[in-house]
Amino acid sequence: MDRIENVLALNPRIPRHATLQPSSVTKTNKMHWKRNKPKNCADTTITHSVYYSKITFSA
């Protein structure tokens, strides 16, 4: 039984369904992980909210 569990641990399951995230969450995550320095102070925060949703896959 342990051998089967070890083999299954090597092949993780891939999510089959998409998760919905608002665009504002996606943009804040992008700003968090972006490596470039902001060009001015206005670029450091998102000043407007976008209410449209995007479909993103989460790992």
If pLDDT is split at 50, 70 and 90, which confidence band does 23 have? very high
Using the structure block, give the residue that is written with the tokens 């943009």: 27
Residue 56 has a pLDDT of 53
Rounded Cα distance between 55 and 5, Å, is: 32
How far apart, in whole angstroms, are the C-alpha atoms of residue 10 and residue 20?
28
Residue 46: closest CA among 32, 22, 21, 28: 28
Structure tokens at 48: 């407007």
pLDDT band at 22 (very low <50, low <70, confident <90, very high): very high
